[in-house]
Amino acid sequence: MSTVPLTEPALREAEVLRLRADFPILQTGVNGHPLIYLDSGATSQRPLAVLDAERSFASTLNAAVHRGAHTLASEATIAFEDARTALAEFIGADEDEVVWTSNATEAVNLVAYSLSNASAGRGGPEADRLRLGPGDEIVTTEMEHHANLIPWQELAARTGATLHVIPLDDHGALRLDAAAELIGPRTRLVAVTHVSNVLGVINPVESLVAAAHEVGALVLLDACQSAPHLPLDVKALGVDFAVLSGHKMLGPTGIGALYGRRELLEVMPPFLTGGSMITTVTTTEAEYLPPPQRFEAGTQKVSQAVALAAAVRYLQEVGMPRIAAHEAELGARLVEGLSAIDGVRVLGGDIDLPRVGLASFDVAGIHSHDVGQFLDDTGIAVRVGHHCAQPLHRRLGVTSSTRASTYLYTTRDEVDAVIDGVARCIDFFRRA
Ligand code: PLP
């Protein structure tokens, strides 16, 4: 089953304009110009439904969950668990397979530290199959966000396992030939991003999942840049873990999630320990709750979870296939328009894969910070730098790039404005 069904019609411009009215920040201006927000890949903007959900929870239901016996506490707990169910449905999981985290970074670290604890014998014999040691191999890729790279470097260092990295070709695409060689009988885990946060391409993760499972390895999918923009079904994809961040999908900051297959979560030792994740505690030892609570130590991010559920409902109402189609159009427009400018190189622009509405580019002779500053002066917000993907930039021979990224509320005119802005920027610096 394809995970990227682009058969639905894209959003019509009038629909996009109607949606924009739901986002207060899109009605504001920057530096004397209307805001053109093309940095949704870093963090997305929030509709009133999400802002209201967080405020309404705080105004009427605020209480710590899974603790108090009073009415407010039990209503807050119901709202918190309903939010979990909403997110689980959104990604095709069961609710007890969704663990709340602060963000995707914490979710990756949760898995890495849990595997590390299992490797140290914590978790007992049931966790034996999760143990890593010398001779075992972890495989990731050269295009990962640092959040899906450094935790594996650290896990390898803690356990003595070896980290292998699937290289990129000269265009920036994953070298699947090399992947086929690197994923072998010693591979225990493959960690790969669904959509590159620099190139915007949708990786053919189905083939990596098949290769990993053929040798009995687990797969962790970084869904940070896919869950907000594409229909995502973790079960159909067959991944063992998936991570995402709420703030990239119309939700608030401070909330993210880990999807883990139930059989795995059930045997994994916890990463964080403390209150709310135990059944009994003595002064010398503790017994832990089943998942997902085993992985949710401490007071939880309740209003953020409730607001993320509102975001998920908003996205579902618009329709993920239509959002994906809208952003595929914007992405193609971005790549085409930017590539046509003399002196602009779109990173991965010639990779023949489906893409989301995100493109990073290098402008010959002009530092990305200068490009970003020039665009900002005209109200256009883009991201500059290495986008937490230094190995990818190094492989493509640049130290930084400028990134424009869209969402459901982005119009074609905004995409054209950034293309025009880059052309004017080049003109400006050439004349200077
Ligand atoms: N993975 C990818 C592909 C991302 O784009 C990001 C954020 O930019 C992350 C992981 C980390 O997300 P967070 O900083 O919300 O944990």
Residue 86 to residues 47, 90, 92, 191, 265, Cα–Cα distance (Å): 17, 6, 10, 25, 19
Asked whether residue 5 carries a pLDDT value surpassing 90, the answer given is no
Take residue 331 and report the two structure tokens written for it: 């992405």
Take residue 303 and report the two structure tokens written for it: 């209003």
Arithmetic mean of pLDDT over the chain: 96
Per-residue confidence (pLDDT) for residue 124, from 0 to 100: 87
Asked whether residue 159 carries a pLDDT value surpassing 90, the answer given is yes
- What residues have CB less than 8 Å from 22, skipping those under 6 apart? 47, 48, 49, 314
Take residue 109 and report the two structure tokens written for it: 């670290």
Query: How do residues 258-275 score in pLDDT, each as one tens digit?
Result: 999 999 999 999 999 999
Which of 39, 100, 145 has most ligand 1 atoms within 8 Å of its beta carbon, as the pocket-test mutant?
A: 145
CA separation for the pair 192, 203 (Å, rounded) = 9
CA separation for the pair 189, 360 (Å, rounded) = 29
Of ligand 1's listed atoms, the one at least distance from the Cα of 102 is: 16
Take residue 325 and report the two structure tokens written for it: 């189609």
Instruction: Provide the pLDDT confidence category of residue 67 given band limits of 50, 70 and 90.
Output: confident
Active site residue 388: yes
What percent of the chain shows pLDDT beyond 90? 96
| The total number of residues written for the chain in this structure | 432
Sorted by where each starts, the structural domains of the chain and their CATH numbers stand as: 13-46+319-431 (3.90.1150.10), 51-316 (3.40.640.10)
Per-residue confidence (pLDDT) for residue 1, from 0 to 100: 33
Query: How do residues 19-44 score in pLDDT, each as one tens digit?
Result: 999 999 999 999 999 999 999 999 99
CA separation for the pair 12, 9 (Å, rounded) = 8
Of ligand 1's listed atoms, the one at least distance from the Cα of 42 is: 8
Active-site annotation holder among 178, 388, 398, 423: 388
Strands 33-34 and 358-363: unpaired
Per-residue confidence (pLDDT) for residue 369, from 0 to 100: 98
How many angstroms is it from 137 CA to the middle of ligand 1? Answer: 24
How many angstroms is it from 426 CA to the middle of ligand 1? Answer: 30
Asked whether residue 251 carries a pLDDT value surpassing 60, the answer given is yes
How many angstroms is it from 347 CA to the middle of ligand 1? Answer: 19
Take residue 87 and report the two structure tokens written for it: 């997110």
End-to-end C-alpha distance for the chain, whole angstroms: 53
Take residue 178 and report the two structure tokens written for it: 């090399």
pTM above threshold 0.85: yes
Take residue 236 and report the two structure tokens written for it: 């159909």
Asked whether residue 87 carries a pLDDT value surpassing 50, the answer given is yes
How many angstroms is it from 75 CA to the middle of ligand 1? Answer: 32
**Which residues sit with their C-beta closer than 6 Å to ligand 1?**
103-105, 145, 147-148, 193, 197, 222, 224-225, 245
H or E element, residue 402: strand 401-405
Q: Whose CA is nearest to atom 5 of ligand 1?
A: 197
Residue 133: exposed, middle, or buried by beta-carbon count in 10 A (0-12, 13-18, 19+)?
A: exposed
Of ligand 1's listed atoms, the one at least distance from the Cα of 195 is: 3
Q: Whose CA is nearest to atom 8 of ligand 1?
A: 42
Per-residue confidence (pLDDT) for residue 7, from 0 to 100: 66
Query: How do residues 327-345 score in pLDDT, each as one tens digit?
Result: 999 999 999 999 999 999 9
Of ligand 1's listed atoms, the one at least distance from the Cα of 222 is: 1
Q: In 3D, which of 57, 60, 97 has the Cα closest to residue 80?
A: 57
Residue 249 to residues 94, 270, 313, Cα–Cα distance (Å): 20, 27, 11
Q: Do residues 188 and 132 lie in contact, with contact meaning Cβ atoms separated by under 8 Å?
A: yes
How many angstroms is it from 105 CA to the middle of ligand 1? Answer: 7
Take residue 203 and report the two structure tokens written for it: 């990786």
Take residue 255 and report the two structure tokens written for it: 């909330």
